């Protein structure tokens, strides 16, 4: 049932008509997916993740990404991997349940409607996590969706 509340699709950050990366989020993580350029040895790619900043690039070249995050991340549980021709960056949110409108500050922000849909999806994810055995995949909110971090006492941490 929880998989029904997983991100329905990833969002794309497009700059000057070119896709920079795709991304999605859960209550706990933000995932970024960067398509790697062909014919570059994998060992030349790098990614540095700080609590509020990311740098991605090819050694010996200016960084491809060099931006602050929308929110702070836990560096000890954030990581990156190379799978086929994709760099997958998994960022552990420091503020579980916070809805990010983009992984990086000031770039590729979701519009207010899409941000609201993300917040509703994260709230349903929270309900599912706190009430195993119930299926919230068809639930809907009427009106404004509360913040999943603070609603009814906030997110429980076990």
Which one is predicted more confidently, 135 or 51? 51
Q: What is the pLDDT of residue 54?
A: 97
pTM above 0.85, yes or no: no
Q: What is the CATH number of the domain that holds 45?
A: 2.60.40.790
Q: Is residue 152 one of the residues assigned to a domain?
A: no
Q: Is residue 70 one of the residues assigned to a domain?
A: yes
Residue 55 belongs to what domain range?
2-130
Q: What is the pLDDT of residue 2?
A: 45
Q: Is residue 82 one of the residues assigned to a domain?
A: yes
Taking the alpha carbons of 130, 157, 68, 48 in that order, is the dihedral positive or negative?
A: negative
Q: Is residue 51 one of the residues assigned to a domain?
A: yes
The token duo for 133 is: 């055995």
Taking the alpha carbons of 132, 2, 117, 90 in that order, is the dihedral positive or negative?
A: positive
Between vectors from CA 51 to CA 64 and to CA 87, what angle results, nearest 5°? Answer: 40
Sequence-distant (6+) residues with CB within 8 A of 29 are: 90, 91, 92, 93
Task: Please tell me the total count of domains within the chain.
Answer: 1
Q: Is residue 76 one of the residues assigned to a domain?
A: yes
Asked if the model's pLDDT at residue 152 lies above 70, the reply is no
46: pLDDT confidence band, cut at 50, 70 and 90? very high
Stretch 79-90: mean pLDDT, rounded?
95
The conformational region for residue 86 under phi > 0 = left, psi -120 to 50 = alpha, else beta, is beta
Q: Is residue 145 one of the residues assigned to a domain?
A: no
The predicted-structure confidence for 114-134, as pLDDT tens digits, reads as follows 887 888 888 878 777 888 887
User: Which of 38, 35, 40, 29 shows the shortest CA–CA distance to 6?
Assistant: 29
């Amino acid at each position: 049932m929880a998989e029904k509340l997983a991100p329905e699709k990833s969002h794309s950050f497009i700059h000057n008509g070119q896709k920079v990366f795709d991304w999605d989020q859960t209550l706990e993580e933000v995932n970024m997916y960067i398509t790697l350029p062909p014919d570059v040895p994998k060992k030349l790619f790098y990614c540095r993740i700080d609590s509020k900043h990311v740098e991605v690039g090819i050694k010996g070249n200016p960084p491809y990404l060099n931006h602050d995050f929308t929110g702070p991340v836990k560096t000890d549980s954030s990581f990156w991997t190379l799978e086929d021709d994709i760099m997958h960056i998994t960022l552990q949110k420091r503020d579980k349940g916070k809805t990010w409108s983009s992984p990086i500050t000031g770039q590729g922000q979701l519009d207010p409607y899409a941000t609201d849909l993300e917040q509703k999806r994260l709230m349903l994810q929270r309900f599912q996590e706190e009430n195993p055995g119930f299926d919230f995949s068809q639930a809907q909110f009427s009106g404004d969706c509360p913040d999943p971090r603070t609603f009814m006492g906030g997110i429980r941490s076990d």
